[in-house]
Homo-oligomer: A and B are copies of this chain.
Amino acid sequence: MIKNITIIGAGNVAFHLCKAFVELGIEPKQVFVRNRSKSLPFAKMGVELVHNAAEIGNSELFILAVNDDSIADAAALLPAGDALVVHTSGSMPCEMLKDFSPNYGVFYPLQTFSLEREVDFKVIPLFIEGANPATENKLKELADLLSDSVIVSTNLDRRLLHLGAVYVSNFSNALFGIAHQILEENALSFQHLVPLMRETVEKAIVKNPLAVQTGPARRNDKETIAAQLNLLKNRPEEKEIYEMLTNYIINKYHTPKK
C-alpha cells in the first residue's frame, strides 16, 4: 500500500484530494503550492507545504492536480526516479507522463469541486489507469480507500465522460445562469426554481432523461414557444439558445398527433 503521497497543485482538486487523504489518516508527505496566497486552506489541515520546486522531496506517489496545460510543466519539477506519477485530468492521456517515470497513470475524480463546499469522496466516481499492471493495482488499492466507485478506464472513456460532464454540469449551469438573470432582473427569486431543479435531476437519474422530456418544445406548443421568444426579444443570445434547444427537442422528442 502506498504510504507516501505528494500533491502538486493548490486548486480545488488538490484541496479536496488532500482533505480526503488526511481524513483517511494518510497525510500527504508534502503539498507543493507555488502561489503562497493559496496556502491557507492547506495550512489549516496541518500538512507540510512547500513553495519552491527544489524542496519537493522523494515520494512514492506524485499526484499532479493542476490544469491540463500545466501537467507537463508540473511533472518536470519532480525529482528524477521511478516514483508513481499521476495526473487528475479527464482529457489527457496518461502517456503524456511517460518521459518522467516508467510508472505513471491517471487518477480522475468525476466531480465539480469548490473550496467552500464539502464533498463526500466515497460517492465520487474515480477513474484510474496505470501504465502497467503493478502501477494500476497500486492506484486501485489507494483509490478504493477514497471512493466506493473506482473504475479502471481508458483515455477515450475519460474523454467521453468529461464530454458528458460538460453537458450535464457546465452547460446546465449556464442555463441556470440564464434563468437566474431573467428572474432576478424582474424581482423574482431564483430560489423559486429550486424544487424544480432538484426534481429534474432526480427524475433524469431514476428514469432516463430520454424518457422524461417535458415542456412546450416536447409538445411542440407553438403558442407558448412564441410567447416565450417574445419575452426574450431583448436578449438575442439567450433567445438563440432557446431557439436551438427548442428545435432540437421538437426534432428529437416530439411525436406529431395523428
State in angstroms the CA–CA spacing of A156 and B201 once bound together: 27
From A123, which residue of chain B is reached at the shortest CB distance?
A: B195
CB contacts under 8 Å to B, within A95-138, are 110-112, 114, 117, 119, 123-125
Cβ-based interface call for A55 (8 A):
no
Q: What's the interface size class on A, roughly?
A: 35 or more
Q: Collect the chain B residues with CB atoms within 8 Å of residue A198's CB.
A: 201
Cβ-based interface call for A52 (8 A):
no
| Selected interface stretch from A42-50, A74-82, A221-229 | A221-229
- Contacts A231-B163, A244-B244, A245-B174 known; A110 to B195 CB distance under 8 Å? yes
Cβ-based interface call for A4 (8 A):
no
From A124, which residue of chain B is reached at the shortest CB distance?
A: B195
Q: Collect the chain B residues with CB atoms within 8 Å of residue A209's CB.
A: 173-174, 176-177, 179-180, 190
State in angstroms the CA–CA spacing of A125 and B198 once bound together: 13
Cβ-based interface call for A197 (8 A):
yes
Q: Chain A 160-178, CB within 8 Å of chain B: the 1/0 string?
A: 1111111111111111111
| Selected interface stretch from A17-25, A26-34, A58-66, A211-219 | A211-219
Report the minimum CB–CB distance from A248 to chain B (whole Å).
Answer: 6
Cβ-based interface call for A39 (8 A):
no
Q: Chain A 192-212, CB within 8 Å of chain B: the 1/0 string?
A: 111111111111111111101
Cβ-based interface call for A182 (8 A):
yes
State in angstroms the CA–CA spacing of A42 and B234 once bound together: 44
- Contacts A112-B199, A213-B174, A221-B69 known; A193 to B181 CB distance under 8 Å? no
Q: Collect the chain B residues with CB atoms within 8 Å of residue A175's CB.
A: 167-168, 171-172, 175
Cβ-based interface call for A83 (8 A):
no
From A221, which residue of chain B is reached at the shortest CB distance?
A: B68
- Contacts A209-B176, A248-B241 known; A170 to B231 CB distance under 8 Å? no
**25 A-B contacts, Cβ less than 8 Å apart?**
A69-B223, A91-B227, A110-B192, A110-B195, A110-B196, A111-B195, A114-B207, A156-B186, A159-B231, A160-B186, A164-B179, A164-B180, A164-B182, A164-B188, A167-B176, A167-B182, A167-B242, A168-B193, A169-B214, A170-B218, A171-B245, A172-B200, A180-B208, A197-B205, A237-B248
A residues bordering B, Cβ < 8 Å? 67-69, 91, 110-112, 114, 117, 119, 123-125, 149, 151, 156-157, 159-183, 186, 188, 190-210, 212-219, 221, 223-224, 227-228, 231-232, 237, 240-242, 244-245, 248-249, 251-253
